[in-house]
Structure 1
Amino acid sequence: MPETRDPSPDGAATADPSYTERLVTLEQSGLKRLLPTQAPYRWNLRRLRLGRVLDVGCGVGRNLQNCGPDSVGVDHNATSVATARARGLTAYTADEFAADPELGRPGAFDSMLVAHVLEHLDAETCEQLLRGYLPSVRPGGKVVLITPQPAGYRSDPTHVRFVDFPVLRAHAEGAGLRVERSFSFPLPEPAGKVFKYNEYVLVGIVP
């Protein structure tokens, strides 16, 4: 298992404007610029039939742009939110989301996506994050948690905690979710030791 690094409890490293620049640069670099490398991940999200999604930690909107047209992103990085909006997406800072009674009303969303977020936070902050946004998802709705496997974890210095299937399950059950299924994507789990884009995916159901 990769080492746990010195934690940034509130995800401070990902709140810096330079983190947004890094995300955009990664999207436009190498094969990602020339090939449809995001196609499998778009397919994976769409096959889960998530309906109206609340994308928590949406960043610059990489996943949000593959969700339903009425989906909403929220992120603590104001620069990332501005970038997502410039791409025509609906995104808010955490403070803006909290101040909008319509966005925060119980059951406003069919599902919640938390992709490549939990590995940036300590366990307590993850629990607070999930419990804070879960009321916005309707009963019976889905919560999808996605984290990187070993090679992906090692590739980003802002990752502070390795979150694999057992840890994902613990977070989901701690938030009161019923775990529907978990799987490795796009390749079987052993590939995640060398392929940095392999992901752990857990799908939970809101009671």
Structure 2
Amino acid sequence: MVNSSQTKEYADRLVRLQQSPWKRLLDVQAPYRWNLKRLKPGKTLDIGCGIGRNLINLSQGVGIDPNTRAIEVARSFGLTAYTPEDFENSPDYQQEFYDSLLLAHVAEHIGLDSTISLIGRYLNLLKFNGKLIIITPQEAGYQSDVTHTEFIDFDKLSTINKALGLLESRRYSFPFPRIFGKLFRYNEFVFVSRKMA
């Protein structure tokens, strides 16, 4: 069964949401851009990049996503993006090449065990002392999308981190304190860890 986040319709929905006039007028992505940049991700592999919303804000980013329509859209923005199969045969697939791996708004679509497997597939591309940055929605955001299959909170993010043998360096709620997660749709869990072996 194909996850509905991998369909053309899902990618087109992301485009429509991003091009919403009120979102563009208010630049609602500004705080999230700032948050990503302050983490200093460096050369980043954006796993599950979608149409490139985060990728476009990375100064050195490469994206991968199984949704072929999303990759087409990301490339139309001039971004470097691949399907997983194409990525493995590209010059951007190199051992210990990336300063960071970014998994933003992906884990809730595929669940805990699949997230561990997915990150494990690319962990060898992360440099020693490189960062794994995982971002997931809190309750209100989780409930806003029917393709979300598992709520991934700090406890589950810690489980992912331990399963991968990484060292946690930071966790926080953004942009508002954790208490707002049940009310504000765009509040996120942010979890950062490092590869020390």
Band the TM-score falls in, shorter-chain normalisation:
over 0.9
**1:117 alignment counterpart:** 106
Identity of aligned residues (%): 45
Deviation of 1:15 (Å): 0.8
Partners of 2:25 and 2:55 in 1: CA distance = 21
Letter in 2 for 1:19: Y
Partners of 2:102 and 2:112 in 1: CA distance = 18
**1:99 alignment counterpart:** 89
**1:4 alignment counterpart:** none
Aligned partner of 1:42 among 33, 41, 51: 33
Give TM-score, length-normalised by structure 2: 0.96
1:135 aligns with 2:135: no
Letter in 2 for 1:80: A
1:200 aligns with 2:192: no
Aligned partner of 1:63 among 54, 61, 65: 54
**1:5 alignment counterpart:** none
Partners of 2:167 and 2:22 in 1: CA distance = 38
CA RMSD, aligned part only?
Answer: 1.2
Partners of 1:124 and 1:62 in 2: CA distance = 25
Higher relative contact order (CA 8 A, sep 6+): 1
Q: How many residues align?
A: 196
Deviation of 1:14 (Å): 1.0
**2:179 alignment counterpart:** 190
Deviation of 1:30 (Å): 5.2
Deviation of 1:172 (Å): 1.2
Letter in 2 for 1:152: G
Partners of 1:31 and 1:192 in 2: CA distance = 22
Deviation string 1:86-127 (CA, Å, 9 cap, x unpaired) is 001110111001122x32221111101000000001322111
Partners of 2:111 and 2:182 in 1: CA distance = 23
Write out the 4+ residue segments of structure 1 that deviate beyond 3 Å after TM superposition: none
Structure 1: unaligned runs, 5 residues or longer: 1-7
**2:17 alignment counterpart:** 26
